[in-house]
Structure 1
């Protein structure tokens, strides 16, 4: 079975930031769909069934974010899975803004999405929800660190 309709719906839902159109993708959600979001976020967890999933979105916008927009890097059809790496742009209710990389992974059965999971840098999300700029660390100088270790010097 071809996932072409779901792939196209993902393109519409996750491309163009403010132009995201999610209605077509929602039509492919199985009534017993399960979505999982990282539990390190205050709205994380496992949400079962279309009613609970839709309620999750309602609470997400009512409590946490003014908007959450996406732009897909690709939509990858893997047969029984569709993967969508995206750049996400969001503004928390407190006004803090975030740009983050996410990956949506959907499991497909009989032309319907039966499971979804979001993989993301949740530390950025927590920082933004706390009203802080996302914490960033400088790139580790791995060459220098490796030479110190090889020389037997304390790191």
Structure 2
């Protein structure tokens, strides 16, 4: 393990659903971190620096009563830390979702310099628009 401090920060921030604590994760972000999330949701886009990273999360929590994660694994590969998670959220309108996300972090000199969330944004958009997440049946193959 080449980045134990970052691994532990990810574990604390992204494990245990309501136990998520992002304090240590904020401490391992580079001052000029770049963070991206799909702009198909109202809080998506590219965020530059720690202040914008924190503003992203503040905006997310304006839409939801809670939005928590539980990591399935925390993996290192070269300069990256990869964290597949289960996300559980409930909007302020009362719609819930359970979704799979993947956090991808790039590390340089012991700090996270880049992050991106890969997620099923269609499901998120459904609950934000005030409806249950749509699910479609598997295709019937001949």
Using the size of structure 1 for normalisation, the TM-score is 0.88
Query: SS where residue 56 of structure 2 aligns?
Result: helix
Q: Normalized per residue, which structure has more strand?
A: 2
2:23 aligned partner: 23
In the alignment, the residues of structure 2 paired with residue 28 and residue 114 of structure 1 have an alpha-carbon distance, to the nearest angstrom, of 9
Query: Which has the higher Rg, Structure 1 or Structure 2?
Result: 1
Q: Which residue of 2 aligns with 1:45?
A: 45
Aligned partner of residue 116 in structure 2, secondary structure:
strand
Offset of 1:12 from its aligned partner?
1.2
Equivalent-residue separation in structure 1 for 2:51 and 2:25 (angstroms): 15
Number of the residue aligned with 1:3? 3
Match of 1:97 in 2: 96
1:39-70 deviations in Å (ceiling 9; x for gaps): 111111001111111122222212x1111100
Q: Which residue of 1 aligns with 2:130?
A: 131
The structural deviation recorded for 1:141 is: 2.1
Normalising to structure 2: TM-score of the pair?
A: 0.96
Q: Which residue of 2 aligns with 1:77?
A: 76
Q: Which runs of 4+ in 1 moved over 4 A?
A: none
Structure 1 residue matching 2:53: 3-state secondary structure: helix
Please give the alpha-carbon distance, in whole angstroms, between the structure 2 residues aligned to 1:138 and 1:43: 29
Aligned length in residues: 142
For residues 6-40 of structure 1, the C-alpha deviation after alignment (integer angstroms, 9 at most, x for no partner) is: 11111111111111121111110111111000111
How far apart, in 1, do the equivalents of 2:64 and 2:32 lie? Answer: 26
Which consecutive residues of structure 2, in runs of 5 or more, have no partner in the other structure? none
